[in-house]
Amino acid sequence: VEIEVRRPAVPDRAFERFVETDGSRLRRALVARFGIDPGNDAANDALAHAWSHWSSVSTMANPVGYLFRVGQSASRRYRRWQRHVVVCTFDEAGASDVYDEGLVASLGRIDHRQRVAVLLVHGYGYSYREVAEVLDVSVAAVTNHVHRGLGALRSQMKEQGRTMEEQG
């Protein structure tokens, strides 16, 4: 494993750059993993951890993957009331159609790794490599998660459509 040893001349700027780029990928992944509120809380905790341990985090081979695990650990205290993960909600301001609401419900029911992979790759357009980095798994594993996740979503959406047709 290659470890990039660097000590930025101006750590604050390096940290800000990290937050702007990897930080948003981290936040999106944690929201996809745990839902909108717990995910954001976990991302805040992970970034706070990054700040307070910046000298070591900045030299890691895969800081975003490490911080995803930090966020996972932190998320435990933020999970509440949810039987299924809710990655976003639709109110009047975010009015959407029935399909999108069904999709969010389906996303909440599929395997969490598949959900993160599907949303990052197809929702946000990250590369498989970028997603593999966050989840700290191989590109092949991400490919599998995406493939299976899309399959699971298709069958759930199909089922929902059938139910809606039956209900008139």
Partner 1 sequence: MNEPTDRLLAGLRRVAVRMDEQSQSSARIERPYTTVNLVSPRRPLATWIVAAMTLAVVVASVIAVTNGGDRTQVFGAGGSRLLLQAPGWAITRHDEADEGGSTHFETTYRSGDRRVDLHQRPRGYNDEFMQGSSDFTVLGHEGVLLPSGTELRAFWRDGQWDLELRGGPLDEAEFRVLLGSIALVDETTWEAALPETVVRPADRARVAAEMLTGVPLPPGVDMATIAQSARQKDRYQFGVEVVKPVLCGWMAQWVDARRTGDATREKEALDALQSSHEWPVLLQMAVEGDYPEAAWSSIDQLADDATGEGAAQRFRSGFNC
Q: Contact positions toward partner 1, by CB under 8 A?
A: 1, 19, 23, 27-28, 31-32, 36-37, 39-41, 44, 47-48, 51-52, 56, 60-62, 65-66, 69-70, 72-73, 75-77, 80-81, 87-90, 94, 96, 99-100, 103-104, 107, 118-119, 122-124, 136-137, 150, 153-154, 157-158
> Of the two residues 90 and 166, which places its CB atom closer to partner 1 in the complex?
90
> Of the two residues 27 and 145, which places its CB atom closer to partner 1 in the complex?
27
Q: Which residues contact 156 (CB under 8 A, 6 or more apart)?
A: 106, 109, 110
Number of H helices, E strands in the chain: 9, 0
Q: CB–CB of 141/133 below 8 Å?
A: no
Residue 109 beta carbon to partner 1: minimum distance, rounded to whole angstroms: 14
Residue 127 beta carbon to partner 1: minimum distance, rounded to whole angstroms: 15
Place of tokens 């990052």: 120
> Of the two residues 69 and 109, which places its CB atom closer to partner 1 in the complex?
69
Distance CA 129, CA 115 (A): 16
Q: CB–CB of 136/68 below 8 Å?
A: yes
Residue 70 beta carbon to partner 1: minimum distance, rounded to whole angstroms: 8
Q: CB–CB of 103/153 below 8 Å?
A: yes
